[in-house]
Amino acid sequence: MADYNPMELMICVAARNLEDGATVVVGTGAPCAAAMLAQKTHSPNLCIMFEAGGIAPILPSMPISVGDSRTFHRAILASSMPDVMETCQRGMVDYTFLGGAQIDMYGNINSTMIGDDHAKPKVRFPGSGGANDLASLCWRTMMMTPQDAKRFTDKINFITSPGYLQGGNTRYEAGLPKGTGPYRIITNMAIMGFDEETKWMKVLNVNPGYSRKDIQDNCGFELKWADKLVDTDPPHADELRILREEVDPHRYIIGR
């Protein structure tokens, strides 16, 4: 039996994607845990940024919001939201993490509403915040989410944060910076990227305990598959120890 849960797996996998010296804008929760884990393991020079203005802090513990005073702890700069967004606009931010209620095959994310009528939706979500700006301007967008066919759908009800829009070059034809866009979708079952030409979601790694059938059955559209699928390396003992003892000792995130 695995000695880790799905949230711990997703955080460890996400952390491995953050190389030393990179810049990443994170929110609270699992993305923050992944950035903290990366900083405490293989990426000591990772520059973590928060939407409210904290730039390159050394996080003493898990903040509860992007404006938490801990996001400025031993930071290079206590800045502001306009400064952080301008830094993204200038092409100086490598990664961002986003979440949402729905995602489609081109990586477009809905965090606004469920339903056909914007004025009277079935469900209203918090909306964009800074997510649209981050998805539009950061070089690589990642998402961590449990996988099911309702969340991974072939038709999202609202594009809050742009992915590759209708695929191909449509993102760049719409005026968004060339070379930006969705990079990795990390779920409890798999790790997905995107086909270079069509920009359609493609499975790269299969997580321990799951099969191709599990992954496809829990997706609302037909997935593409890498020519050589890789088995995801499960969390290492040192990653789990740091995650549990230093990053999230109160299990605010990994206890979900």
Cα distances (Å, whole numbers) of residue 14 to 72, 153, 184, 235 = 23, 22, 9, 11
Report the distance separating Cα 10 and Cα 3, nearest Å.
14
Cα distances (Å, whole numbers) of residue 170 to 131, 175, 176, 184 = 19, 9, 9, 19
Report the distance separating Cα 250 and Cα 256, nearest Å.
11
Quick check: is 19 catalytic?
no
DSSP state of 243: I
Q: Which one from 51, 86, 197, 245 is the annotated catalytic residue?
A: 51
Nearest-CA neighbor of 56 among 92, 29, 91? 92
**Active-site amino acid positions:** 51
